[in-house]
Amino acid sequence: MSLVTTLAVRGLTLFGVLMAVLLLVVIALGATGFSDRMLHATISEELRGLRQSLAQTIRDPDQLEQALSLQREELIRYYHLDKPWYFRLPDMVRRVLTFDLGEARTLRSFEGSSRVSDIVRERLLNTVLLVTTASIITAILGLLIGPKLASQAGSRLDRTACLFLAFSYALPAWWMGIFLILAFSFKFNLFPTGGMYSLPPPPGGIDRLLDLLWHAALPIITLVLVSFGSWTYIVRTMVLNTAQESFVSVARAKGLPEQLIRRRYIIRVAAPPIVTNLMLGLAGSIGGAILTETVFNWPGMGRLYYDAVLAADESVIVALTFIFTLIYIIARFILEILYVILDPRIRYA
């Protein structure tokens, strides 16, 4: 089987994963009755507000109830509750698969747009600025420190660093965020407590950019501190396990330079699993960090998913699930190609 054919088969397999995930989302929303219950609750809330508004102009109770009944029927048709869930939700999935993300029912973008694509576009840029930036910084630090610790396994530096890495891994992101806010926002007044911009925000230009970076600094530091430990320890362990292989001992017995052994016999062999964790971590970062974004009041993708579930906004839930799964599939397909380049032991023939 040729390389192109094999990659095509892998691509079709990953597309099947995408379809399976969307099918599970439809079943979870529809068959459990969650979608219908939440939409009926939304309609009841809208009618409650409408009743208070109409009561100011309609004094006759019968006419008021008749107007509310007509409005209820219109809302039921608007939310497609006059159709069973297995007719309503699959059509939404079909539109999402053609990248027609549709309209959100309750959520809105910062500019007031109800288009899901506009809402996602705004939140996606915010998440890339915050979570993806933190993931890149964490990856760079791990790739620099992990191999260094592996080359000095068992030393005092290695034992001390591993203790710190375990402490970093055990830190909850929400706790670390609150602690840094108390220390650097309230105590020392170095960073803002949350949000993306000051109030009122700078008009534009370099001042607005600097204000944005100032607000992003503390949440980025939080994410780096809580994720740095696990990633660095993973890199250290992978490099250390590879350094103990027999072919590395043979290379040293031949008298090859240590730098050459580390680069060609250790780092290159350990590269595939390291790249796998790195690629999937970057792909996952686009999904946002719900707790960190909530603590720092940062409007990202994680917070958007949380808000969509609370508001029972089916269009946004299905669209975000599709986007997150698609990002994962793209990352996995890129990994399939990188494996061929990084690991000569892999053969697609």
Instruction: Give the integer Cα–Cα distance in Å for 178 and 292.
Output: 9
Instruction: Check if the beta carbon of residue 89 is closer than 8 Å to that of residue 75.
Output: no
Same domain, 150 and 71: no
pLDDT value of position 104: 83
Residue 232: its pLDDT value, please? 92
Please answer whether residues 280 and 328 qualify as being in contact, where contact means their C-beta atoms are separated by less than 8 angstroms.
yes
Residue 81 lies in a domain: yes
Tell which residue, 251, 250, 245, 252, has the closest CA to residue 269.
245
Single out the residue in 97, 129, 164 at which a domain terminates.
Answer: 97
* DSSP letter, residue 197: S
C-alpha–C-alpha distance, residues 122 and 119, integer Å: 5
Backbone torsions φ then ψ of 196, nearest 5 degrees: -105, -30
What CATH number should be reported for the domain holding residue 319? 1.10.3720.10
Mean pLDDT throughout 203-211?
A: 86
- Say yes or no to pLDDT of 181 above 90: yes
How many other β-carbons are positioned within 10 Å of the β-carbon of residue 100?
Answer: 12
Residue 30 has pLDDT above 80, yes or no: no
Mean pLDDT across the chain, nearest whole number? 84
Instruction: Specify whether 318 is located in the same domain as 183.
Output: yes
Residues of the domain holding 30: 3-97
Residue 311 falls inside a structural domain: yes
**Same structural domain for residues 86 and 125?**
no
Contact 295, 88 (CB under 8 A): no
pLDDT band at residue 184, thresholds of 50, 70 and 90?
very high
For the four alpha carbons of 301, 306, 309 and 311, in that order, the dihedral sign comes to negative
User: Per DSSP, what are the bridge partners of residue 115?
Assistant: 103
Instruction: Based on the fold, state whether residues 166 and 298 are members of the same structural domain.
Output: yes
**Structure confidence at residue 215 as a pLDDT band (50, 70, 90):** very high
Domain boundary among 30, 62, 97: 97
In a domain, 347, yes or no: no
Distances from the Cα of 10 to the Cα of 280, 329, 336, 347, angstroms: 17, 10, 8, 14
Tokens of 152: 């000095």
Cα 78 off chain centre by = 31
**Segment 115-139, tens digit of pLDDT:** 888 888 888 889 888 888 999 999 9
Residue with tokens 């960073």: 191
Domain membership flag for residue 105: no
Is 106 contained in some domain?
A: no
Residues 6+ away with beta carbon under 8 Å from 228: 138, 141, 142, 165, 168
Residues 202 and 238 in one domain: yes
How many domains does the structure of the chain reveal?
A: 2
Residue 220 has pLDDT above 90, yes or no: yes
110 in a structural domain: no
> How many helices and strands in the chain, by DSSP H and E?
15, 0
Tell whether 124 and 231 lie within a shared domain: yes
Task: Assess whether pLDDT exceeds 70 at residue 3.
Answer: no
pLDDT at 217: 93
Question: In whole angstroms, what separates CA 57 from the centre of its chain?
Answer: 47
Calculate mean pLDDT across residues 34-43: 75
DSSP reduced 3-state for 188? coil
53 pLDDT tier (thresholds 50, 70, 90) = confident
Residues 246 and 285 in one domain: yes
pLDDT score recorded for residue 58: 76
Q: What is the pTM of this model?
A: 0.76
For residue 108, being part of any structural domain is answered with no
Q: Are residues 92 and 27 in the same domain?
A: yes
- Is residue 178 domain-shared with residue 280, that is, in the same domain? yes
Cis bond before residue 200 (omega within 30° of 0): yes
Where a domain ends, among 28, 62, 97?
Answer: 97
